[in-house]
Amino acid sequence: MAAETPVVDARLQNGAVETHCAYCALQCGMSLTVDGGESSVEVAPLDFPTNRGGLCQKGWTSADLLRSPRRLTSPMIRDSRSEPFREVSWDVALDVVADGIRSTQAKHGNDAVAVFGGGGLTNEKAYQLGKFARVALRTSNIDYNGRYCMSSAAAASNRAFGIDRGLPFPLPDLAESGAVLVMGGNVAETMPPFMQHLNAVRDAGGDVIVADPRRTATADQATLHLQLMPGTDLALALGLLHIVVADGHVDRDYITSRTTGFDDVWRVATQWWPERVERVTGVPVAAQRATVRALATGRAGRGAVVLTARGAEQHSKGTDTVTALINLSLALGLPGRPHSGYGCITGQGNGQGGREHGQKADQLPGYRKIDDPAARAHVAGVWGVPPETLPGPGRSAFELIESLGTEHGPRSLLVHGSNLVVSSPRSHRVADRLAALDQLVVCDLFMSETAALADVVLPVTQWAEEDGTMTNLEGRVIRRRAAVQPPPGVRTELEVMADLAARLGRADGFSADPRVVFDELRRASAGGVADYSGITWERIDSEDGVFWPCPSEDAPGRSRLFTDGMFPTPDGRARLVAVDHRAIAEEVDTDYPVYLTTGRILQHYQSGAQTRRVPALTDAAAEPYVDIHPDLAARHGMANGDLVRIVSRRGDAVGKARLTTAIRADTVFMPFHWGGEQAINRVTNAALDPTSKMPEFKVCAVQLERVDSQPAMEPSGAVVAGQA
């Protein structure tokens, strides 16, 4: 029997409900005012520390999702993928899923069933999904789309600092800095309210330096733009460190007292003199020196910060690139100082919390390692199971996808909060692997490109229809509050997991109440790196959120890390790790002579499964474009507005040419928010970082073709499902 859908708090129905945006990790504060019949919802920004009264176009239109006519409201199944879906009751749908799980595991073993999660799930759902996989399914095969987002920065931060928190300080601290270097981030489009913090640095006379192959909206507002060649961020980081040392900017006292490994790092960096870096990256020597001077001057004044984002991280050497930038920040003595340090700009709404509590293949709640006996014993005790029954580490996201339907891979897959057909590299191959499954089950709000390939589709609640917590890019745990009732027939994913667990003989321990689940999460995370044990919903409500780690209800959350002079490593010191530049996985050649890079645009989010259903956003950006330098376009006989086919060794995608001098003449850019023929991830390279298992989304070799036909589109801007 399913638990009842939680009733929206009556106290909140009578006025504006304070909550947070449906999208990115900035998690802007907003209020929702609902009319008496719930037919309309008005959005207003709140003066929350991250957005300070600002919202982007996505945030302003986020309530449109709540009453979308394309919303899924009934479970659907089909007997074969050549047949159309038919609506069924929840009992029928869940019985089909449970029968499929039992049958698959009886034939092929526990690991024959896999789970794929998402960085937009609440902490409660992410936590219970990890528990469901390991206790109810007893499978090691669980990972999530955050592997495509934060994994390189997480791996580098863990090995340098012993902890992974996107920003080790509150975001408003950034505005007090004297210099900020942003490597591979375009926050002016991806999270516009973030820009007020960067602009405050510039307006106070400080420096904002942006490294990006494109002159993005963020680079346009910077004091200096480093227009590097795609895939050369690591060489640039090594070169900046070389200048720091050669020009006498190293903080020797800091290095001696708070770090280890500097000599090994310097032996590599000494080979990256400025002129060599210019030849490799295209960044002039003068710009390299200006960057180091700005950081050194900022450090001596108000402070200096080095930030990374996906442009630097989504590479087959992303972990080493972030490591080199952490080395740079440590050599300057930044981490732990006021308004200074290294930080990662988290992308997905719960990209931070989503990776802390068990969705990742190698982790247990509290950011514990799943192969650590003490961690297994603690979590097993909370879950009431013997430690030896917990499975070990599983496959990372793309490795998991590649194994689907193979002889030794999973035969059944449950997908929560992810549109992996659009968001994964080499997406033609991803669709083939999903087609090889015996059973594909997708929980979603809409018929996404991935849901369109499923055997069972389960309609679930979205952001303003459920209570829960999120952890934003600062490590601040915040509350999402239900403002409206979900449509009839829609259930929460906590209910789905509880009902399935009961059908699989695990009725105990899987609650549909998010508060109950959060309280269990607190116990499971206690003593871990990401310790939430002292965080309660009541504290979050009264304190504008609570930072982790927070080991007791009497302790304040740690909003600023490393300020006591210590790092959470065995010896209390930060580790500088020697890394060297290496070529991208696929260099250009005569057959594929152009670099491709990808990213997000202002109007859309991730795979577009939500934003492509919002009319105002699709009116503003109905289809993808291809940024091409006029010189490159001329060599290919292309004009502005022409349809362009981008072709790699893996596949092709189509978009409209947008001629601009804001991009390098050897590079094209295309956003990744669309499916079908417009899905640029049909083209991207799945070469993996050996440490983080991050695919190399940000650069590959392509050729360009002019085409004359337009891909078929649905009115909403979503590609027709049959073409996914």
How far apart CA 467 and CA 517 sit, in angstroms, is 11
User: What confidence score (pLDDT) does residue 187 get?
Assistant: 97
What's the pLDDT tens digit per position in 673-692? 999 999 999 999 999 999 99
User: What confidence score (pLDDT) does residue 15 get?
Assistant: 77
- Asked, as a colleague might, if the bond just before 715 is cis with ω within 30 of 0, I would say no
Average pLDDT over residues 591-609: 96
What's the pLDDT tens digit per position in 274-285? 999 999 999 999
Residue 710 banded pLDDT, cuts 50, 70, 90: low
Percentage above 70 pLDDT, the chain: 96
Q: Name the average pLDDT for the chain.
A: 94
Residue 709 banded pLDDT, cuts 50, 70, 90: low
How far apart CA 306 and CA 226 sit, in angstroms, is 14
Residue 371 banded pLDDT, cuts 50, 70, 90: very high
pLDDT of 258 > 60? The answer is: yes
Average pLDDT over residues 577-587: 97
Residue 720 banded pLDDT, cuts 50, 70, 90: very low
- Are the CB atoms for 655 and 646 separated by under 8 Å? yes
User: What confidence score (pLDDT) does residue 9 get?
Assistant: 45
User: What confidence score (pLDDT) does residue 411 get?
Assistant: 98
Q: Cβ–Cβ contacts within 10 Å for residue 81, how many?
A: 13
User: What confidence score (pLDDT) does residue 6 get?
Assistant: 41
Residue 595 is inside which H or E element, if any?
Answer: strand 594-599
pLDDT of 75 > 70? The answer is: yes
User: What confidence score (pLDDT) does residue 39 get?
Assistant: 74
Residue 11 banded pLDDT, cuts 50, 70, 90: very low
pLDDT of 189 > 60? The answer is: yes
Helix boundaries (H) for 109-194: 123-131, 151-161, 187-190
Give the per-residue SS3 of 522-550. HHHHCCCCCCCCCCCHHHHHHHCCEECCC
Q: What is the pTM of this model?
A: 0.94
Average pLDDT over residues 367-387: 97
- Are the CB atoms for 169 and 341 separated by under 8 Å? yes
User: What confidence score (pLDDT) does residue 35 get?
Assistant: 85
pLDDT of 535 > 90? The answer is: yes
What's the pLDDT tens digit per position in 429-451? 999 999 999 999 999 999 999 99
pLDDT of 421 > 70? The answer is: yes
pLDDT of 14 > 90? The answer is: no
How far apart CA 225 and CA 221 sit, in angstroms, is 9
Nearest to 174 by CA among 321, 331, 334: 334
Residue-wise DSSP of 459-518: EB--GGGS-EEEE-TTSEEEEE---SPPPTT-B-HHHHHHHHHHHTT--TT--S-HHHHH
User: What confidence score (pLDDT) does residue 711 get?
Assistant: 55
User: What confidence score (pLDDT) does residue 1 get?
Assistant: 39
Residue-wise DSSP of 74-88: S-EE-SSTTSPPEE-
Average pLDDT over residues 108-128: 97
Average pLDDT over residues 319-330: 98
How far apart CA 434 and CA 400 sit, in angstroms, is 11
- Token readout for 113 is 């069933």
User: What confidence score (pLDDT) does residue 86 get?
Assistant: 97
User: What confidence score (pLDDT) does residue 111 get?
Assistant: 98
Determine the Cα angle at 424 with ends 431 and 705, to 5°: 85
User: What confidence score (pLDDT) does residue 40 get?
Assistant: 86
Give the per-residue SS3 of 643-693. EEEEECCCCEEEEEEEECCCECCCEEEEECCCCHHHCHHHCCEEEECCCCC
Q: Cβ–Cβ contacts within 10 Å for residue 36, how many?
A: 7
Residue 96 banded pLDDT, cuts 50, 70, 90: very high
